[in-house]
Amino acid sequence: CLIRPIEHGATLVWHSVSKYLNGHGDVMAGVVVGPHGLLRKIRAMSSLYGVNANPFESWLASRGLRTLPLRMERVSQTALTVAAFLEQHPRVTKVFYPGLASHPDHALAQRLLPRGCGGMLAFEVAGGRSAVDALFRALAEVIPFSPTLADARTTVSYPAGTSHKFMTAAERATYGIGDGLVRLSIGLEDPADLQRDLERGLDAPA
């Protein structure tokens, strides 16, 4: 919807159907696109290990596809609005979103993602882990913590304590993952509501 990797030279494309394709956080599935010869081998392994999607999940995913363009347009616009808001907040030291002019790959993103940069962004909170804890506590009722992403509702996650928790602090630092990094997965809410919720959370005492 936002990019077609095969048109840019990719041989195989893996996509988590559980995320934006389905869009409602209620499917566990994936899809692979590529040449028939490679797909035949992948299909054989999929059948051998029994990882085929069941009929109901396939139906849910096909339902989600009907609204994919509308959802991606919405989350991309909202993510850019929220990223710009966070960039100006005094308790946020850095925002990572390629739709921002300040991002080092902004020009590349404009070329490859002319329809929008999606709903995933990250930001650094001043004060490290204690500040993140305070933020998450303040947001718990409105923007819940979730280690997954790309749901219809906005969620937050903490990479240093989830996806990268088995790395040392030095190892995480090489990937730009500090103790104050928050991942934000934008959903379909009104951007003004998200800004108010985030501002209240960021202003919460650590």
CATH value at residue 80? 3.90.1150.10
Q: Rg of the chain over CA atoms, in angstroms?
A: 18
**What pLDDT digit, counting tens, does each position of 137-187 carry?**
999 999 999 988 999 999 999 999 888 888 998 999 999 999 999 999 999
As a whole number, mean pLDDT of residues 25-37 equals 92
Q: Are 31 and 110 found together in one domain?
A: no
Q: Are 112 and 197 found together in one domain?
A: yes
> What pLDDT, on the 0 to 100 scale, is given for residue 151?
92
Cα 37 to Cα 4, 6, 12, 20, 31: the distances in Å are 20, 16, 11, 27, 16
Contact 175, 166 (CB under 8 A): no
Residue 206 has pLDDT above 80, yes or no: no
User: How many structural domains compose the chain?
Assistant: 2
**What pLDDT digit, counting tens, does each position of 1-17 carry?**
899 999 999 999 999 99
Q: Are 61 and 142 found together in one domain?
A: no
Q: Are 77 and 178 found together in one domain?
A: yes
> What pLDDT, on the 0 to 100 scale, is given for residue 198?
98
Of 65, 82, 105, which marks where a domain is finished? 65
Q: Are 152 and 187 found together in one domain?
A: yes
> What pLDDT, on the 0 to 100 scale, is given for residue 46?
87
**Exposed / middle / buried, residue 9 (Cβ in 10 Å: 0-12, 13-18, 19+):** exposed
Contact 181, 163 (CB under 8 A): no
* More confident: 117 or 46: 117
**What pLDDT digit, counting tens, does each position of 82-135 carry?**
999 999 999 999 999 999 999 999 999 999 999 999 999 999 999 999 999 999
Decide: pTM greater than 0.95.
Answer: no
Q: Are 31 and 79 found together in one domain?
A: no
Contact 164, 172 (CB under 8 A): yes
Contact 123, 84 (CB under 8 A): no
Determine the structural domain holding residue 95 and report its residue range.
68-202
